[in-house]
Amino acid sequence: MVIANKMQLSAEEKYDLIARNLQEVLGEEKIKTILKERDLKIYWGTATTGKPHVAYFVPMSKIADFLRAGAEVTILFADLHAYLDNMKAPWELLALRVQYYEHSIKSMLKSIGVSIDKLKFEKGTNFELSKEYTLDVYRLASVITEHDAKKAGAEVVKQVDHPLVSGLLYPGLQALDEEYLKVDAQFGGVDQRKIFTFAEKYLPQLGYQKRAHLMNPMVPGLTGTKMSSSEDESKIDLLDPPASVKKKLAKAFCEPGNVENNGILSFTKHVIFPLFKSDEKFVVVRNAENGGSLMFDTYSELEECFKMMKLHPADLKTAVEGYINRLLEPVRKTFEDPVLKKLVEKAYPVAKKQKSVANDDVITPAHLDIRIGKIVEVSKHPDADSLYVEKIDLGEDKPRTIVSGLVNFVPIDEMQNRMVVVLCNLKPAKMRGIESQGMVLCASVAPKEIEIVCPPGGTPAGERVYVEGYEEGTPDDVLNPKKKVWEKLQVDLTTNEDCVCQWQGKKLFTKSGGLLTCKSMKNAPVK
């Protein structure tokens, strides 16, 4: 599939090429006015977190359209944004991931046969850490309300009741990028619409012009939902071999006659057909006994045939498999380079998954049952001046009783209704006559310096806490005291320089809320 070249396009033809297959355009007249005078300047940003997958061909297909229309296109590797979005990408890996993204995107564009003469790459931290940009961040912060910042990031940044300030900054930085990249328009998915309208509202308040915005529809993944880097079965990695492509497509949601939330059809519409030359057709090879091969000039013809159940999902998948492998082959070849193989290994280190079976000799964090709890009642121990007796809601039928030695460190009024992190599967132990059914985790650097570990804001009581790389498996019902499971794991449980809880450098997190932290203790044991 090689993009056909068109010379001397009119302003109208350029606009049609720029806008085709988009779900929405904000600032259509502004774009048309610019095109009558000069070529458009567009930027597309991508946060360098997970590995790019086959769905990246959707924006690449549109970027190819922009380039064909003569536009100057900047691809922004939003490394700072990646860190701000709940620290999804470790700071020490960001530079490596930017390199991986650049090699991946160049090889993808090469795969679809588009010239990159008018394409340039920019790294966010190249200008976002400048004095001028930083001052503009403060200027923007002085006019934005918390409500507008939270609303703008609603579809992009993880939403919790008590968000981190980093997530509130995210939309403002994305808006400022338009000004500092000196573009006419920003391109993105329709899930970014609230950030785009946020930019249109607030940039003029700083004296900067309002830009246009181009929005792709959200393309469902292979499971019928959004294609996600974190959901292996929903996405095909750029470096997946043909056997993996076949296996994942075989499992893909593709109900006969159903054209809604059909990732196979959506990929065909937004990637395969736009890359065809004018005389190229979509071919479905079938045996004569199954009706013979089919050829389609347009996507609408293909969709109608599938909708009328004249095209079987298995035949469609087989055809799409061939086109996907044609797109991926140049990317695979690029990464056969030993230097790039090493880059992938460093940028995306694989955490070895360990079994978490109760009688397994290998002791890993998967044995631990750590949960978020809410203290619903607290009192001083009747027979011990330094102990609290707490009733903690852990998402069970009734609150657990837990005894904690925190009287000298946290006032009782600060304990009531407090969210805490609890190790739930220690063997119950009596403390001055009262049975304690767990332990509230704290960071401590000395006997007189203790801070309670803080759950992510908005995380509900009962939600489980995980250690990166050890998400699978069921915790032990009760940790075996003879094997000293907790004692052996606790040695490596600490806070880091950012006060984030970690085990052997792997962060503790909840799937809905984010990272576990403490208020101020760095590099402190957690117990």
The enclosing domain of 209 has a CATH number of 3.40.50.620
Q: Is residue 345 included in any domain, yes or no? A: no
Q: How far is CA 268 from CA 54, 223, 262, 302, in A?
A: 12, 15, 10, 9
280: domain CATH number?
1.10.240.10
Q: Is residue 473 included in any domain, yes or no? A: yes
Tokens standing for residue 188? 């993105």
Beta bridge partners of 389: 379, 403
E strand map for 217-292: 282-284
What are the pLDDT tens digits along the chain (527 aa)?
Answer: 544 444 589 999 999 999 998 999 999 999 999 999 999 999 999 988 888 888 899 899 999 999 999 999 999 999 888 777 655 567 778 889 999 999 999 999 988 888 888 999 999 999 999 999 999 999 999 999 888 988 887 766 655 556 678 778 888 999 999 999 999 999 999 989 999 999 999 999 999 999 999 999 887 766 554 444 444 555 789 999 999 999 888 888 888 999 887 888 988 998 899 888 888 999 999 988 888 999 999 999 999 999 999 999 999 999 999 999 999 999 999 999 999 999 999 998 876 544 444 444 578 898 999 999 999 999 999 998 889 999 999 988 889 999 998 998 899 999 999 999 999 999 999 888 999 999 999 998 766 688 999 998 878 888 999 998 888 778 888 998 888 889 889 988 999 888 999 998 889 998 876 899 998 888 889 98
- Taking the C-alpha atoms of residue 290 and residue 286, their distance in angstroms, rounded to an integer, is 6
Residue 190 contacts residue 110 (beta carbons within 8 Å): no
My answer on whether 325 and 369 are in the same domain is: no
Three-state SS for 392-443 is EECCCCCCEEEEECCCCCCCHHHHCCCEEEEECCCCCEEECCEEECCEECEE
Q: Is residue 337 included in any domain, yes or no? A: no
My answer on whether 253 and 378 are in the same domain is: no
Q: Is residue 223 included in any domain, yes or no? A: no
Last residue within a domain, chosen from 199, 216, 233: 216
Beta bridge partners of 359: none
My answer on whether 375 and 503 are in the same domain is: yes
| Number of domains composing the chain | 3
Q: Is residue 38 included in any domain, yes or no? A: yes
Q: Is residue 491 included in any domain, yes or no? A: yes
Last residue within a domain, chosen from 201, 216, 231: 216
- Taking the C-alpha atoms of residue 23 and residue 62, their distance in angstroms, rounded to an integer, is 12
- Taking the C-alpha atoms of residue 166 and residue 172, their distance in angstroms, rounded to an integer, is 10
Last residue within a domain, chosen from 329, 346, 378: 329
Q: Is residue 235 included in any domain, yes or no? A: no
CA-based Rg of the chain, rounded to a whole angstrom?
27
My answer on whether 440 and 374 are in the same domain is: yes
Domain residue limits at 252:
242-329
Q: Is residue 226 included in any domain, yes or no? A: no
Which residue from 206, 216, 157 is spatially nearest to 186, judged by alpha carbons? 216
E strand or H helix that includes residue 35: helix 28-35
My answer on whether 396 and 486 are in the same domain is: yes
